[in-house]
Chain A
């Protein structure tokens, strides 16, 4: 009784000395090693290239530190200042036109009893299957120098489609599905009880719209506007094809870096492009937090009731939008089969046969498939394993916030900026990884990193839906975590895995911005080939290539759906009710 521990007095004093730490089980060490590997990959393929841009922007051509001189020199170049202004106002105009148009469409999809909602939704999402510049090619066929409706356009007071008008039209088309998806999500989160309460008090429809619907969708609207603005601001393909002499930041960066080899000023423009993307990222983060807290678990989902006049108006609107989509997509397909625009409109495969195959750009399509396949397989594996280790395993507490930050960063980095960073970092002669430059491996890594965040968030959402105690139970039963990962986590998450893989595949097929800096003649991909064909004046072949990509993406989507159906039948059997 004499050897009383002084701490046993029952007084709640923090004890001196370091906190107890648990020994690490050997299986957990494997997890830690893999997590470190993923962190290392994100540092090499994301953090280091971004750091390289920062360094270039404050260095002279000889590598000496010059502070903000490059920025000052940039601000004193009138032509470049003009580009900043052009980028800003074009992005603003597109945002002001595309977001309201998408809002009405989303409203029709979620708040009316319009027929064929699924069909309308599918049609409006098709632009995602092709590179964004497909719409630019299409508008050239409609309104270009030899366009079908050139005279109609002239009579409306627009001299030429090349420049701001073409960019604005093409961008509206290509950002429409992005804005639509965000707004549909926002408008789906409605609490029917609010509308019931309003009806009970005899509120007018207009008042309900302005006091319930609009405030409820406020965050979605902000988010859609920011995303649209950033997409337009950082898009490279459309202004390259239809921009003519109208300079924007995204095309400047390319001219500066590839044309003039002026890395320093390229880095400055890259950082300017990073600004709106970063802003969008942080606004989106705070908006999402507010949006989820708005809808409690008790909310009753809203379901619209039929109203003939209103439903008809909504249907007419959606039909018009769908027809416009068809006009854009259809024109590209049509033109790709036309023998000799505009003189001989008979159908032929000459663009596909002579333009693509003989021009040896067919290889580019094969490269695209390799890139997309590699990105889908490797990207899904890295993203899912990374998300799993962060969400479901313990230990390495200090490194976790850093890895999470790295996983979210790509969302805030435009592809063009990422590609720029890759040149600076991997093309640097002293870099031991220099050998990767121009290889397909680097293209794959770049594309994975470019689209990492969306995949990561999909995986995290799927993992969070699993019982948090699976890993604890496994440990108590002495089953190593990787066995539970293989037997339980992975099979349950196959739908999410397929979503991630498909997302990677489609984006790898259609991406231009990041890879435009990184290809060599041997590793040129199809979306880049469109740019080259367009530059050499072979717009028919460019259209054919764009259509080919869209077709490839469509086939891939269908294959993913079929494969998903097969796999899910095996792995998701437990979701079906008992057969008895």
Chain B
């Protein structure tokens, strides 16, 4: 009760919700693509739908756009029930993975496409198009055709076209997936800063966790048609609500153990101090991020320190993904060690080192 009230007051303190989904179900024949989706998006927020392919994230976005029809459930945009409205009667701009720019129209004509229909004077359209092209950093490309631009530039134009009519909601369907790695990172920042400047409520679908973590105010993690967790990027990463979220976002070591006494977790032959292990006698499956096993600082007398041997080093640039085995441990562990640390201590495959497990970061979901 109290939790819910706190959450409510927090919502009210910011602004009214921009979008409310309740009880959304979607069936494709016998396939249940979305199961009872409940979600509130706050005005001006950047929300990411994150999940593996086939989890229903794109279907949910298309339902919000009116391009698919939910089997049941309601959608409120502001105070308006848009559940049954056709796409043309809803208020949003949309950007697709394929850009969907009209290839036979110039960049100017593409950006002005939605303005021409609104009884805006020709001069105003020209001004607005100029302004938008400047906003997306392509002020001089108005006379070109889409095929004369790079993928990243085309996606910027698609974005300009989507926001040209100042919609209340911006929908992005995997907008960066078709771009190469460098362009993707650059456009990530641009979209985010543009969104913040315009203050437009935005929903982006992505399967790329890095993209979601770096761009979103809140992430909606989805799997098999259900919402697994809704939270800020930090919450999703640090306090994953389910084993699926731990697995899908970031890396994790999985350790099977038993709680032998209050505050004591037995992993193989080792017993670690663990404040959140309360239920005695229970066997648990715990999840631990690689960065929560540290090599320094370790001081004499520190608890939860283990002896380990390096089994494999995967070089990733400034740091390495290192697989270690510790005698008496149920399974091998993966840790991050910086390149400098490895060379300082001349560590290589077979070397031994001490590692401290930050047990307060252990996540448990029961076995």
Contacts and interface: CB of A to CB of B under 8 A. Distances in A.
Interface of A: 1, 5, 7-8, 10-12, 14-15, 17, 19-25, 27-28, 467-470, 472-480, 483-484, 487-488, 491-492, 571-575, 577-578
Please classify how large the interface on chain B is, using the bins under 10, 10 to 19, 20 to 34, 35 or more: 35 or more
B103 interface: yes
A12 B226 contact: yes
Contact of B72 (A17, A474, A477): A17
B46 interface: no
Which 9 pairs, one residue from A and one from B, show the smallest C-beta to C-beta distance?
Answer: A477-B114, A475-B87, A469-B100, A12-B35, A574-B145, A25-B86, A578-B148, A469-B96, A19-B71
Q: Indicate the member of B87, B89, B145 with the most A CB atoms within 10 Å.
A: B87
Contacts of A578: 144-145, 148
A478 B94 contact: no
Contacts of B134: none
A7 B117 contact: no
Contacts of A492: 103-104
Contact of A12 (B36, B84, B89): B36
Main secondary structure of the interface of A (DSSP, over half): loop
A233 B85 CA distance: 54
A568 to B, nearest CB: 11
Contacts of A24: 86
Interface stretch (B61-69, B312-320, B330-338): B61-69
26 contacts: A1-B1, A5-B22, A5-B23, A12-B32, A14-B32, A15-B71, A15-B72, A17-B72, A19-B71, A19-B72, A20-B72, A23-B84, A23-B86, A25-B86, A467-B96, A469-B96, A476-B92, A476-B93, A476-B167, A477-B164, A478-B88, A488-B102, A488-B104, A492-B103, A574-B103, A574-B105
Contacts of B145: 573-574, 578
A573 B144 CA distance: 11
Contacts of B92: 476
Contact of A477 (B70, B73, B113): B113
Contacts of A469: 96, 98, 100
Nearest to A575: B147
A103 B89 CA distance: 56
B161 interface: yes
Contacts of B164: 477
Nearest to B225: A12
A472 B36 contact: no
A479 B93 CA distance: 12
A473 to B, nearest CB: 5
A164 to B, nearest CB: 55
B209 interface: no
A333 B226 CA distance: 74
A7 B102 contact: no
Given A7-B36, A14-B32, A467-B98, A472 B71 contact: no
Contacts of A473: 94, 96, 100, 113, 161
B113 A21 contact: no
Given A20-B72, A21-B84, A574-B104, A476 B94 contact: yes
Contacts of A11: 36
A479 B67 CA distance: 15
Nearest to B116: A479
B146 interface: yes
B25 interface: yes
A397 to B, nearest CB: 11
Nearest to A474: B113
B87 A472 contact: yes
B105 A488 contact: yes
B83 interface: yes
B232 interface: no
B281 to A, nearest CB: 29
